[in-house]
Structure 1
Amino acid sequence: MRMKIKVKPEDFIVEEDADLKLHKGGDYKIYLLRKRGFNTVDLLLRLSKKLDIPFSNFSYGGKKDRHAITTQHITIKDRKVFDTEEDSFNLRYIGDMQMPMEANLITGNRFKVVVRDLDEKEALKSKGEIGFVQEHGFINYFDDQRFGSFDREQGFIGEKILQSHHNIALKIYLTGIHPEDKKAEKERKRYFFNNWGNWNECLKRAKTLFEKRAFRILSKKETNPFLTNILMLPREELSLFFSAFQSYLWNKLAERLLKAHCSETLLKYRGAYWEYLFYKTLQKGKLNYLRDLNLPTPSQNAEMPDALSERLYQEILTEHELKPSSFTLRKIRTAFFKSSPRNFLIIPMISLAEIEDDELYTGKKKLILEFKLPRGSYGTMLIKRLMAE
């Protein structure tokens, strides 16, 4: 079942709930940031320039999508108080804290979502799934937006770095084409891809500072030029590449466990890159087990909760030519793989589900949802589960 979300920013509203540790006179000023049309990092970079404050002084608990209206908490390490507003964002001072904003202060996120372009049968079927999902939950997969750096033809940058294939990792970084790339950027990346290895030709077409530095280093034929370039990548980007592959491995393990525990007919939803599988039914004993199951995100010291999870995890690592020790990056110190527990199953709190005529798509219906999820869970994944067939 296909549907449309985020047709306009008002169709996807996210409000962050947090347990703030307010302390008058603390070094960190805590703000409520409401935004639209920006992802969190890009907006903080803009605020850094606007307020003339180093980007490193900004902290946040989670990245929020640019294709939505979102409200979240950030801290700025500065004695001054800044209240600022533009058409696309509003920054409002709340108080002081003795610590920066971080993920473990977030208690959950509240969502208001409009799902569009549904026929009446689809809308009724999706609404009809809510009772089951509220009682039995859904698998807590990482969703498509986590995998923006994935290249369909070449794979994950993080995976190639773990395998010490620095040449391929750099190639993906410099040639991987993404939907948001402008026409000139796509053409330049295709040129780099087709001329990979002809460094002088690539250098002639290089435009960004990183491209020029990278191809200059490669053209000089220095020792380990590919690793040298990888080490020049910003820490924030490297962390994103690592977390993308880490999340992919977690999803793969969750899917294998699903198949092992639920042999009944599975539901499917086709995402941007691959299919997501969900259980259609779940016995009470399985529900109790899976509801309490926590799977760590892969790293050197990740400890699986039981023998089955460990066996499946080791199988997945072997398929990717990896071992637990592979996650120790001795040559890269700017970013690393950190393991954290993640619930296998999430039970949402759905407070509203209404079907109305869709004013944007003639003759179609829209499903209006309001719900709350724990920190780190994706509202879009709940929607995929409701739409799965």
Structure 2
Amino acid sequence: MIKRYVNILDFVLDIAYLVTEKGLHAEYCQTPSSFHVQEVLDRGVLTERGEYAVLEVRKRGLDTYEALRIMSKEADIPLQNFLVLGLKDKDSTSVQYVFVKRSLLPENFSLERGGVEARVVGFSRGKPGKSALLGNRFKIRFETSHESDHQLAKEIMRLVVEHGLPNYYGYQRFGVKRPVTHLLGKAVLEADSAFFAKMLLSDTTPLESEKSVLSRTLMKFDNSLLYEKMCYEMPPLEDCGLALNKKLRNLYVDAYVSYLFNRLLTRLIDSNKGSLPDTKIPTLGCDRTAYQQLLSEEKLEPRNWGLVKCWYRDSVIRPADPSVGREGNTLEISFTLPRAGYATIVIRELFKENFLVQQIR
């Protein structure tokens, strides 16, 4: 393994190691046209009858929460009744599966509005668990004027499959325009409502849009900054981090746990002299002793340990069924990752510094 931070986010999030120094000459920027993802659903979940309706949802240019809000309004069902197996990026064209109690859904429900299409594809006997999602199939497309990129892409994907990649949590877990989600999670754990509010509402980064920076400067938030708006409108003495809905609060805390995982994984490879061990690594909620040194460095003083969940994560991830196709100057690379695998970690390996992460929204 090669230790090299290819961009500032790598350094901030301790995404440190690469398989090879080789990288494509072309640049890649993630957009709904260049990045496609489809969930791989365990088809054993689907039945002809059941308590839950299963919706296949296709969205473009929206994050999952925004798509759910459109569906909630159209179906006149409270948002919390929709269950998803994973979150999908705003800058993508994605197909995912959404579960809702059949009794709540209007008969013959379908939707095609605001960048969202939804249709019923079956039913499920009960509430689905995360195991119903087997993984995700990704497809990236980009233009290149370099004749060698086709063979080079094949070679890099061969090395990735052969050696495996460090199973880091990718940039989207933490935010790219504002990589602060893990810091918000730390503030929730420490019940530091003042820091949480300051970080969420007013702190800006150079990668944000002018509109976002202006909103934070003037403290005027519309629905494009919905969580900021919700927090700003809360009573002054209310702890915003704890008062936000449970799913959002857990997302922040899990992001901090994921950040610690990245740091631990990098140190594990460091201590193994640059070799990537194939093992399962506990997160903070499973084994605090494994994180003792990191917690000391972080100066973490948690008051809400009960929000930290336990799960184990593989140290190594290998794309399945990779393919590299070419049509003129357009290359298309496809691969499947298991549940909770991040395509950006594969894309980073392919493009190195030519992965324009600063343009991901």
Instruction: In structure 1, list runs of 5 or more residues that go unmatched.
Output: 193-206, 218-224, 264-281, 305-309, 330-335, 359-365
Q: CA deviation at 1:147?
A: 0.7
Aligned partner (choices 85, 96, 107) of residue 112 of structure 2: 85
3-state SS of 1:10 partner: coil
Within 2, Cα distance between the matches of 1:148 and 1:93? 32
Aligned partner (choices 234, 237, 248) of residue 237 of structure 1: 248
Q: Structure 1 residues 327 and 315, CA, compared in 2 at 3 Å: closer, same or farther?
A: farther
Question: In structure 1, what is the equivalent of residue 292 of structure 2?
Answer: 314
Question: In structure 2, what is the equivalent of residue 303 of structure 1?
Answer: 287
Would you say the 8 A contact 2:59–2:117 is kept in 1?
yes
Amino acid at match of 2:110: D
Would you say the 8 A contact 2:50–2:125 is kept in 1?
yes
More deviation, 143-152/67-76: 143-152
Aligned positions of 1:97-176 closer than 5 A: 97-116=124-143, 119-120=146-147, 124-148=151-175, 156-176=183-203
Within 2, Cα distance between the matches of 1:53 and 1:179? 38
Question: In structure 1, what is the equivalent of residue 4 of structure 2?
Answer: none
Aligned positions of 1:198-217 closer than 5 A: 208=229, 210-214=231-235, 217=236
Within 1, Cα distance between the matches of 2:283 and 2:177? 18
Would you say the 8 A contact 1:109–1:375 is kept in 2?
yes
Q: TM-score, normalised by structure 2?
A: 0.77
Q: CA deviation at 1:322?
A: 2.7
Would you say the 8 A contact 1:59–1:102 is kept in 2?
no
More deviation, 39-48/93-102: 93-102
Q: CA deviation at 1:248?
A: 0.9
More deviation, 100-109/137-146: 100-109
Instruction: In structure 2, list runs of 5 or more residues that go unmatched.
Output: 1-22, 220-227, 354-361
Aligned length: 317
Question: Cα deviations across residues 127-155 of structure 1 (Å, max 9, x unaligned)?
Answer: 32222211111111111111128856997
Q: Structure 1 residues 230 and 387, CA, compared in 2 at 3 Å: closer, same or farther?
A: closer
Do residues 257 (structure 1) and 237 (structure 2) align?
no
Would you say the 8 A contact 1:13–1:112 is kept in 2?
yes
Q: TM-score, normalised by structure 1?
A: 0.72
Question: In structure 2, what is the equivalent of residue 13 of structure 1?
Answer: 36
Q: CA deviation at 1:124?
A: 4.5
Within 2, Cα distance between the matches of 1:241 and 1:76? 24
Q: RCO higher in 1 or 2 (8 Å CA, sep ≥ 6)?
A: 2
Amino acid at match of 1:344: S
Aligned residues with identical type, % of pairs = 27
Amino acid at match of 2:39: E
Do residues 328 (structure 1) and 299 (structure 2) align?
no
Question: Cα deviations across residues 197-238 of structure 1 (Å, max 9, x unaligned)?
Answer: xxxxxxxxxx94642434xx2xxxxxxx3x533333232321
Rg comparison, structure with higher value: 1
Within 1, Cα distance between the matches of 2:99 and 2:144? 39
Aligned positions of 1:40-59 closer than 5 A: 40-59=64-83
Would you say the 8 A contact 1:134–1:350 is kept in 2?
no
Q: Structure 1 residues 141 and 327, CA, compared in 2 at 3 Å: closer, same or farther?
A: farther
Within 1, Cα distance between the matches of 2:110 and 2:91? 24
3-state SS of 2:45 partner: coil
Question: Cα deviations across residues 105-126 of structure 1 (Å, max 9, x unaligned)?
Answer: 1111111111445744566544
Question: In structure 1, what is the equivalent of residue 11 of structure 2?
Answer: none
Question: In structure 1, what is the equivalent of residue 5 of structure 2?
Answer: none
Do residues 75 (structure 1) and 46 (structure 2) align?
no
Q: CA deviation at 1:357?
A: 4.8
3-state SS of 1:156 partner: helix
